[in-house]
Chain A
Amino acid sequence: METLEVKKETLAKQTQTISGSQAVLEAFVAEGVDTIFGYPGGAIMPIYDALYDYHDKLKHILVRHEQGGIHAGQGYARASGRVGVVFGTSGPGATNLVTGLADAMIDSTPLVCITGQVFAHLLGTDAFQEIDVINITTPVTKWNYQVTDATEIPAVLAKAFYIARTGRPGPVLIDITKNAQLQQFEYEGYTACTHIRSYRPKPIVRKEFVAEAAELINKAEKPFVIFGQGIILGKAEKEFKAFIEKAGLPAAWTIMGLSALESDHPLNVGMLGMHGNYGPNVLTNDCDVLIAIGMRFDDRVTGRLDKYAKQAKVIHLDIDPSEIDKNVKATVGVWGDCKETLPLLTKLVEEKKHTAWVNKFKDYMAEEVKEVIHDELNPTSEILTMGEVIRNLNELTEGNAIIVTDVGQHQMVACRYAKFNKSKSNITSGGLGTMGFGLPAAIGAKFGAPDRQVITIIGDGGFQMTLQELGTIMQNEVDVKILILNNQFLGMVRQWQQLFMDKRYSFVDIASPDYVTLAKAYRIEGQSVSKREDLHNAISTMLNHKGSYLLEVMVGKENNVFPMVPQGCSVSEIRLK
């Protein structure tokens, strides 16, 4: 009798009656969430009401547009390596998240988004701010689910976090109806999810394929490593460095993989892709073994596939088996988490140096410097180039800052020339190329890595897409440095119109407001420069300023980004001018 009494008591202690909204927040606390980016609304009010009591455990950043919120969540996730959390209300709040979900999906960023939804009994009735968010976001989420009963919340959120952060990360959206947010239920505590029977985030590594890969590498005369964000997502930077150093392998990066390997590492041979470096592009079609790690052979990297690395044996290390053989046929596919597969591979490869082969990359770089880079970084005419702005920035940051870019010419120039000493320091919209990404992502990055200096480089086009987030910076006093490279054009489109459409500049000249006055209206200090002699000091002022600062640099209107692999061309056909 006594034991029974004790048991009942412990059971009673364990369950408490809480609301669905509180269960959501309890789940966040249990999962180690510290920051939420969001915007309230009618359908998510119960959650916001519960949030009011969690101010010591959860920080909420009120943005100015839900798209700003989700890009901030992405910036946070990229800078910290943790899951970004975003709130939005029903209807337009949810649809405003779609761009960010698509961006996170294609760039494999872990996010958990919670959207409010109308009462369950109103679903499908065209109620106020009701939208079929589940069907709209199905193609752009790794998983989504609609909760209509509060008792489901703990398990669903546990599943959401597990799915978002494991395997190939991605965005998850949970739509919670208002009644479920309000509903009181017996809460038995939070149990993190460790297994979903239909989901296998990573496999047991097949050692025989690692061995096969190692054998190919050991026999190779001209082995070439190309790497992407997988190294950063797998937190395998050390393992990667050990691997290339042992076997003496030159390594080139995609813009998503930039900063996984220090810029000045002797085996870092540069950037791949449409605006990448000369050597890595041309020598892709010269190597005998191509080792791809954590990258997916995006069309911007490969150019035309029928003339891409056909002469090479391809080794592909990736955690997503559907990427292996998707675009490029792999001779040996090593499916697995690179944090596990790289050490296994390192053990089997022989210690070697391929000095002559690595020097070939250096020779191509010398030519690229002569034809393109020198003039870009050290121009002689009065017109400021984007490259020289980056050069000055490097001198002052010494490669320690987090650089967040928007999309366009400035993005390519920044990725090409910015120096990085640490991983997770380059945050950019790669797969989707979302203009307007830069400013809100920088806000998120600062919250994700508060001890790092965060600088966002944005074009005059992209800045005008999400400049409302200056309000978020102002209200939360976020120390983000904003560097606008203003060429008074939608530069990348203008470049294509110049090169491929007979200079028919169709609607690419875009007028800008006075950005410095705009910043001041948001209580953000700033200045604008257009002369070379003012540039270095202006950047220095910006970096040393306590708090957010906006620096506009007027750069050449019709400068182009080179080298370039034109669309539909092979990587060997890269143009230097």
Chain B
Amino acid sequence: MNKQEFTITVYTENHIGLLVRIATMFSRRKINIESLNTSPSEEEGIHRFTIVINEFEEVVRKLARQIEKQVEVLKAYYNTNDEIVWQELALYKVSTDEIAEKVQVERLLREYGARAVVIRKDYTVFETSGHREETDKLVAFLAPYGLIEFVRSARVAIIKASHGFHEKLREFEEAMPGEEQIENEFLNKQDSVFTM
């Protein structure tokens, strides 16, 4: 078995200190967090974490269960890249002269669907969204043309097989667990979704 990229999606209560609790679960096991996004989810008061790591499936499976065990965590899912739809945002700051002069640059930016966010006399900021490899390619291409600055965002992802969190949240709010809640990964032999 090899290490591969996993995206861990965690739904939590929106409380201070939860970020630290979750982050320490990774550092404790010496797992490097490649990308971390935390933002409000589609449900009010519920926060969503999207964490990308490079690890063995066995390790990720056990880690996801440990994360879900935390009191303020509602659910934790882990998925490989083909089980999710994901995007990363990137901003590029290029000298406006370069774009004006070099047709290749202009053409490439059009190819990538780069959107100009800010146009000034001396610099222009472009934005692209897509996958890591695409962003990397564009960065590599722009480098000789004087890429002034570049920033990449964390990954946000939607699990292809999910049904959204609304139903699940309603089940959690009831005192007794519903039928669906008693699924458990090893019981159902389903490797991608762990529920408690």
- Contact of B91 with A by CB under 8 A: no
Tell me which residues across on chain A come within 8 A of B196, comparing CB atoms.
200, 203, 321
A200-B196, A203-B196, A322-B65 are known contacts. Are A142 and B71 too (CB-CB below 8 A)? yes
Does B187 lie within 8 Å of A209, measured CB to CB? yes
The answer on a CB contact under 8 Å between A206 and B62 is: no
Q: Does A355 contact B (CB under 8 A)?
A: no
User: What residues of chain B lie closer than 8 Å to A197, measured between beta carbons?
Assistant: 74, 169, 172-173
Contacts of B69 in A (CB 8 A): 320-322
- Contact partner of A203 (CB less than 8 A), chosen from B175, B177, B186, is B177
Over the window 119-148 of chain A, the binary record of Cβ atoms lying under 8 Å from chain B Cβ atoms (1 yes, 0 no) is 000000000000000110011001111100
Bound together, the chains give a CA A530 to CA B196 distance in angstroms of: 57
Q: Would you call A324 and B186 a contact (CB within 8 A)?
A: yes
List which B140-177 residues lie within 8 A (CB) of chain A: 169, 172-173, 175-177
CB distance from B99 to the nearest CB of A (A): 45
Tell which of A135, A139, A321 has the most Cβ of chain B within 10 Å: A321
B32 contacts the other chain (CB 8 A): no
- Is there an interface contact between A139 and B12, defined as CB atoms closer than 8 Å? no
> Complex formed: what's the CA distance from A326 to B184 in Å?
14
A333 at the interface (CB under 8 A from B): yes
Q: Is the Cβ of B184 less than 8 Å from the Cβ of A335?
A: yes
Size bracket of the A interface: 20 to 34
Taking residues whose C-beta sits less than 8 angstroms from the other chain, chain B's interface range is 20 to 34
Q: Does B62 lie within 8 Å of A322, measured CB to CB?
A: yes
Complex CA–CA separation, A198 to B65 (angstroms): 14
CB atoms of A325 and B17 under 8 A apart: no
Known: A138-B21, A139-B28, A321-B184. A199 touches B71 (CB 8 A): yes
Contact partner of A198 (CB less than 8 A), chosen from B12, B24, B175, B187, is B12
Q: Which of A128-176 contact B (CB under 8 A)?
A: 134-135, 138-139, 142-146, 163
Contacts of A199 in B (CB 8 A): 71-72
A63 to B77, CA, bound (A): 45
Determine whether B80 belongs to the interface, using a CB cutoff of 8 Å to chain A.
no
B21: nearest residue on chain A (CB-CB)?
A138
Q: Given the complex of chains A and B, what is the CA–CA distance between A199 and B69 in angstroms? A: 8
A195 at the interface (CB under 8 A from B): yes
Total inter-chain residue pairs, C-beta < 8 Å: 68
A322–B12 Cα distance when bound, in Å, is: 18
Does B39 reach chain A (CB closer than 8 Å)?
no
> In the complex, how many angstroms separate the beta carbon of A314 from the nearest chain B beta carbon?
12
**Does B24 lie within 8 Å of A139, measured CB to CB?**
yes
The reply to whether B186 and A206 form a contact with Cβ atoms under 8 Å apart is: no
Whether B21 pairs with A333 at a CB distance below 8 angstroms is no
Q: Which residues of B contact A333 (CB under 8 A)?
A: 184, 186-187
A325: chain B residues at CB < 8 Å are 62, 186
Q: Which of B62, B74, B172, B177 is within 8 Å of A326, CB to CB?
A: B62
B104 within 8 A of A: no
Please judge, given known A-B contacts A139-B28, A326-B62, A333-B186, whether A198 and B177 are in contact too, CB under 8 Å.
Answer: no
Considering only CB atoms, which chain A residue lies closest to B173 in the complex?
A197
Q: Is the CB of B71 within 8 A of A206?
A: no
Q: Do the beta carbons of A206 and B187 come within 8 Å of each other?
A: yes
Q: Which residues of B contact A138 (CB under 8 A)?
A: 17, 20-21, 24
Nearest CB of B to A341, in Å: 13
The 5 lowest CB-CB distance pairs between A and B, nearest first, are: A322-B65, A197-B172, A198-B74, A143-B71, A195-B175
23 contacts between A and B (CB under 8 A): A135-B20, A138-B21, A139-B28, A142-B71, A145-B17, A196-B71, A197-B74, A198-B12, A198-B73, A203-B177, A203-B181, A203-B184, A204-B176, A204-B182, A206-B187, A320-B69, A322-B62, A322-B66, A322-B69, A325-B62, A330-B186, A333-B186, A335-B187
Residues in chain A within 8 A of chain B (CB atoms): 134-135, 138-139, 142-146, 163, 194-200, 203-204, 206, 209, 320-322, 324-326, 330, 333, 335
